Amino acid sequence: MRSQRQVVDYALQRRSLLADVHSGKVGVAEVCDASPYLLRAARFHGEASDQTCPVCRKERLTLVSWIFGESLKHAAGSARKPEELDQLAALHSDFSVYVVEVCRTCSWNHLVLSYVMGTDHENDGGGRRRPERRRTAAE
């Protein structure tokens, strides 16, 4: 079970952008611009979703989870499979996860969710920071 904190859902931003695309205010080429690196990550690290692409309607979207954080060292900035996130969360302090939906057919991509995972040693479990221990003059 993943311990996700500080969850941000980008559904309203997505809905607004799609409304602009469907009304012609924003061109399809502007939103269907996934890089080859993102498309490759979707192929090898992505998780299929039940949602069909809102632009081309030809394929189900793939969710790609990107991880960032100092404690991850060389792994920061990489795409990871969902099952790897739990393993990383057990080993590392706070790191951010950004979930991007990708259509491998038309290259639509959009950030759909972000959250924080990790051991979070400085938290008391309820989202509040533990008070720092006072140090004596001798320390």
- Please give the pLDDT value at position 94: 84
Would the pTM of this model clear 0.85, i.e. be above it? Answer: no
Q: What is the pLDDT of residues 80-118, one digit of tens each?
A: 888 887 777 777 778 888 999 999 999 999 999 999 888
- Please give the pLDDT value at position 20: 96
Q: How far is CA 36 from CA 5, 83, 109, in A?
A: 30, 24, 12
- Please give the pLDDT value at position 73: 78
- Please give the pLDDT value at position 120: 66
Q: Which residues of the chain fall short of a pLDDT of 50?
A: 1, 121, 124-136, 139
